Amino acid sequence: MQQFQIGDPSAVAPARRGINTLAAELGFDTENAGRASLVATEIGTNLVKHGGGGELIAQPICRGERMGLELLGLDKGPGIEDVARCLRDGYSTGSSPGTGLGAIERLSQRFEIYSRPGLGTAVLAQLWPEGREPAPGLTQMGALVVPKRGETSCGDRWCYHERVEGILVAGIDGLGHGLGAEQAATEACRIFEAEKHRPSLRLMQLLHEGLRSTRGAAVTLLEVDWDAGRISSVGVGNVAAAMLHESETKRIATDNGIVGHVIPRPRELIYQFQPGTVVVMHSDGLTANWQASRYPGLIHHHASLIAGVLYRDCQRGRDDSLVVVIRRTPS
């Protein structure tokens, strides 16, 4: 993942160059890497001209064997009164080489925007080599993992295993931050990958045993069955989870403890959910007092855009940050 703070026009060019390089590393040819660069330029220009500055995040995305590029533009500016007008041809950001948001939409395989007057704008663009988006799977996922400001190591991780009926997801927060936290989280992901076919209760016990030589971690395991409308949760520590349906937010409980050091007897909690529910998991790098009711219509957007908005508004800024959003892929 690459982060770019876009506070003035001079910050757009370095972001464009960085994203061009990342696209080339992901297998984009010269033409399609240039397309990604133009999208980055448009997003960065919008952040400066209309958002008062903001953050541009670029990261690889994976679907099956194919790798793509995801760009998120996040600002807390005045927002957009009329999104449809901004998407029309002829509505330009001014000095940018395209035609604003409309150019981003045309150049991307997936484009979404969420904006509320007075609360800012979030823009999502996904691009794939050869300009073709792969077929979607059963589960749509979006995630951000961001180290504490000034750190190069990150102790937050997530890993997952797709199943016929849904998905098993682990959210991991290595104790503290820095290299020791990263080592604990990395080991937790290694154990998860080796033991992912185990039941969640047994997997948590194996994580506890395997992390004894590390500083430990908070871990939440969520097993989602879409057709049954059921979530199985096993959680120890401060990796929070919640189910969102329309404007309702229902929190998922976890137990106190540190996986690898002291934990209670693991317990499995079962939750039922309605069709259209979105599941959110995050570390304590994000404040936990957010509510879905503050974001009307957001849960109908792509999981990555939901993750971006929550990260933008809820990050504490004094720890590593993890936010994972999963939903059943809309038909």
pLDDT (tens place) for every residue of the chain, 331 residues total = 999 999 999 999 999 999 999 999 999 999 999 999 999 999 999 999 989 999 999 999 998 889 999 999 999 999 987 777 776 654 444 444 445 788 899 999 999 999 999 999 999 999 999 888 899 999 999 999 999 988 889 999 999 999 989 999 999 999 998 999 999 999 999 999 999 999 999 999 999 999 999 999 999 999 999 999 999 999 999 999 999 998 899 999 999 999 999 999 999 999 999 999 999 999 999 999 999 999 999 999 999 999 999 999 999 988 999 999 999 998 7
166 and 79 share one domain: no
**In terms of domains, do 302 and 186 share one?**
yes
Measured between alpha carbons, how far is residue 156 from residues 184, 256, 281 in Å? 9, 18, 12
Residues 145 and 288 in one domain: yes
Q: Are residues 126 and 51 in the same domain?
A: yes
In what helix (H) or strand (E) does residue 24 lie, and over which residues does it extend? helix 12-25
| CB neighbour list of residue 113: distance below 8 Å, 6 or more residues apart | 80, 83, 101, 121, 122, 123, 124
Residues 214, 184: contact at Cβ < 8 Å?
Answer: yes
Same domain as 281, residue 150: yes
Q: What pLDDT is stored for residue 27 in this prediction?
A: 94
Which domain, by its residues, includes 27? 2-131
| CATH (domain of 96) | 3.30.565.10
The answer for 195, left when phi > 0, alpha when psi is -120 to 50, beta otherwise, is: alpha
Q: Does 88 share its domain with 232?
A: no
Provide the β-strand partners of residue 270: 232
Please give the angle made by the CA atoms of 93, 106 and 32, to the nearest 5 degrees. Answer: 105
* HSE-CB for 297 with a 13 A CA cutoff: 5
Beta strands in 205-298 (DSSP E): 217-225, 230-236, 240-245, 248-252, 269-272, 278-282
Distances (CA, A) of 182 to 113, 178, 204: 33, 6, 19
Query: 């892929």: which residue's tokens?
Result: 329
Task: State whether 168 and 118 are in the same domain.
Answer: no
- Of 113, 131, 149, the one marking the end of a domain is 131
Q: Which two tokens stand for residue 127?
A: 């691009």
What's the number of domains the chain is made of? 2
73 and 43 Cβ atoms separated by less than 8 Å: yes
CATH number at residue 212: 3.60.40.10
pLDDT of residue 99: 53
| 185 and 68 housed in the same domain | no
Identify which of 195, 194, 155 has the alpha carbon closest to the alpha carbon of residue 175: 155
